[in-house]
Structure 1
């Protein structure tokens, strides 16, 4: 059994080693290292019992109780690992909260069976420190801005397909960023796990040494907030504004949100009622009741276009560039790359 620091542990994962988080399912769902699999040594209730015994009656009493829980399923733990990894050769990576008894116990069992096992020194806690540190060192950014419906997310995906460094903040947050942004997407990750994924994404993007494309975002993406360092970097970076005709923007909004239930769309309009106004909100609800999602989307754009105009006006004018290329996402992405290269040739910092 070997101990690995966090950098070596993550490096082994990138090289293809399978990693297991032996904390409980509740701990795992709250936040985890991206890419690890959950292999809980204890159920949630069992961990509470063992932890209480450790505090009140000591280490040996807690170990005996823990063995009573784990003993009958030791075979199950080994078989689960073998099913994921294959033959008992490894390497297999294991961690718990602090690199203590849970990970050491599972590592002993797997090593006894024949796996080459490595334990994360400091456990998940060490990853949290590492992830937070990544968010303190923001790489150079290029920001894609534009009004609602221009397809900024699809443009970022096209940039990624072309080999550019991209961090899709809305993808990590599982939210499109507006009052309607959570529709049809399911639950957002916890704030802790959002930060874990963001730290990993920033670290990976930073390695290339190239500017990283991100979308222009406010502090909140749904119910998840961006770190202050990233917000400041976004606001201080060059923002390239993309645009699209109104009809194309409406088409995109209908394609994205048209399958959502009218009640959910109506609830979203209620959330912007104060800014949209009572009359416009009532008109939008009426359009939805009549099955005219497009008309409702047009009313929403009245609000979002005004909000965007105010936001872009707060940026330094010399850090805002309007792209004169429109069209399919890959065409706009190509225009962004050409603009980036032109800026680099002038020697202007991005």
Structure 2
């Protein structure tokens, strides 16, 4: 589509670092399928073309070339459809006057969107030079260059030690489990889906860049494996963390049982109920499936006898919960899995990290140690 002289002179933003450091609102005009595959935490998808438009125009482009594809695009996105899309961009621009818009490469789609918005509203909304592709490449570069600048400390401890809650009480930390929307274990799935690998990497790169920009190079990370649910830690960061000193937090067994019961049972049930719109029955059904399904994931590691034993405990607890609403029956399987399954596995894993073990103590003692390492 030919651009007017005014359209050719509309503002363009090339400073990608500032966009991410300032958490700039971003209007993503790509098709929804592109947005689902990967986007940025501050972006909203208000597409120029929907998925059907994109598919049809892409086929026309392959068959007859760019001019024919543009002609079809103008036919499909016209009249009331065009007006509604421009109205949506206007609402976003007025709500976020300091924002930007982008398409995949910063090319025709973003220029058309920018021009239409200007022609209808007079708003000269900046577009990102290079679009999504340039911003994605920039963040991948951050994942390579920022981790070697860090001074990380790894927070470790047995399952149920409350490491995540402890981690979140610090300013100088990166919560990988929050970014991955997963607790990092067989029982770690959340009621809502994990982000795509691309979105996980984008969000992680932005957080790392911001911490480093603020001078927060000493950072606390929780002890994680390479994979967090279906996602994996980027290689450069994972390798840096694999060599970092470890601070081991020690918690009494019964306190660990209480913490695990709270997080995986009480909080888990509340989360599933919330996702189902407050419907307690639907929440309970989903929660039950989550518990039993999570247990079955470790059946091979548990062995047949222990798996059946734990499953019986869990089913008994769920029946009691269904009849009385009480969650106390869940303590049995929580305690059994912590002490009989997770603890031996943790002992084996920590034995391979003895050379990196820099400190071990109570939560208060670990907090003081971290403060002395410059982590607050």
Q: What range is the shorter-chain TM-score in?
A: 0.7 to 0.9
Q: Provide runs of 4+ in structure 1 moved above 4 Å.
A: none
Compared CA separation, residues 63 and 48, structure 1 to 2 (3 A): same
Q: Does 1:4 align with 2:8?
A: no
Q: Are 1:149 and 2:187 counterparts?
A: no
Alpha-carbon RMSD across the aligned residues, in angstroms, is 2.1
Deviation for aligned residue 1:9 = 5.8
Any conservation in 2 of the 1:262–1:288 contact (CA below 8 Å)?
no
TM-score, normalising length from structure 1?
0.88
Aligned residue runs from structure 1 range 51-70, under 5 A: 51-70=58-77
Kindly report which structure 2 residues correspond to 1:63-82, keeping only aligned pairs within 5 A, or say none.
63-72=70-79, 73-82=81-90
Kindly state the Cα deviation for residue 46 of structure 1 after the two structures are TM-superposed: 1.0
- Check conservation: 1:284, 1:296, Cα contact below 8 A: yes
Task: Tell me: CA distance 1:313–1:6, structure 2 relative to 1, closer, same or farther (3 Å).
Answer: farther
1:295 aligns to 2:304 (yes or no): no
Of 307, 311, 317, 1:285 maps to: 311
Alpha-carbon separation, structure 1, partners of 2:241 and 2:143: 13
Listed as ranges, the gaps of 5+ residues in structure 2 are 1-9, 270-283, 318-328
In the alignment of these two chains, the number of paired residues is 329
- Change beyond 3 A, Cα 1:318–1:18: closer
Counterpart in the other structure of 2:106: 99
1:119 aligns with 2:156: no
> Which deviations, in whole Å up to 9, do the C-alpha atoms of 1:228-269 show, x marking residues without a partner?
111111111111111222112111222222226333312212
Cα distance in 1 for residues equivalent to 2:34 and 2:373: 46
Instruction: Tell me the CA shift for residue 6 of structure 1.
Output: 4.8
Shift of 1:25: 1.0
Which whole-Å deviations, capped at 9, do the CAs of 1:278-329 have from their partners, x for residues lacking one?
211111111112113211112221222122222222124254311233xxxx
Q: 1:208 aligns with which of 214, 221, 224?
A: 214
2:368 to 320, 324, 338: 338
In structure 2, which of residues 299, 302, 309 is the aligned counterpart of residue 276 of structure 1? 302
Contact 1:33 1:124 in 2 (8 A): no
TM-fit CA distance, 1:85: 3.5
Match of 1:181, SS state, is coil
TM superposition shift of 1:188:
0.6
Change (3 A) 1:269 1:42: same
Q: Give the TM-score, by structure 2 length.
A: 0.82
Are the counterparts in 2 of residues 9 and 93 from structure 1 also a CA contact under 8 Å?
no
In 1, the alpha carbon distance for the partners of 2:42 and 2:59 equals: 31
8 Å Cα contact 1:253-1:297 kept in structure 2: yes
**Is there any run of 5+ residues in structure 1 with no aligned partner, and where?**
326-331, 345-350
Report what 1:250 is aligned to: 257
Cα distance in 1, alignment partners of residues 187 and 43 from structure 2:
31
